[in-house]
Amino acid sequence: QVQLVESGGGLVQPGGSLRLSCAASGFTFSQYTINWYRQRPGQERELVAILTSSSNTYYPESMKGRFDTSRDNAKNTVYLQMNSLKPEDTAVYYCHVRVLKDYWGQGTQVTVSS
């Protein structure tokens, strides 16, 4: 069965960096687009990054230049490098894949605070 497991979240000061990981299993990882979303307190889930099977990327304007996603097909893992973090980046971060239907990881908490 399809599984996504995020890790790497934590507490970081404003201006700091974190790298999130999403380990995938249960499908042919290299053939699928993987997405990152986040859900800030009291808000709806929002798109953070798209990473296609050919490693093309898309970021919403607010994340451009600060966030970078990449994949290691040998490890069935996607990464989200987040730099210059701001308090408003505080959220639970999820990875997502659509393999006939939508699958989500359990999420990893990122807190940006001094």
What digits encode the pLDDT tens for the residues 35-77?
Answer: 999 999 999 999 999 999 999 999 999 888 999 999 999 999 9
Sorting pLDDT into bands at 50, 70 and 90, what band is 82? very high
Residue 2 tokens, joined: 């399809």
Q: Which backbone phi and psi does 40 adopt, to 5 degrees? A: -80, 155
What pLDDT is recorded for position 63? 87
What digits encode the pLDDT tens for the residues 83-107?
Answer: 999 999 999 999 999 999 999 999 9
The answer to whether the beta carbons of residues 24 and 4 sit under 8 Å apart is: yes
pLDDT cut 70: percent of the chain above it: 100
Percent helix, strand and coil across the chain, each to the nearest 5: 5, 55, 40
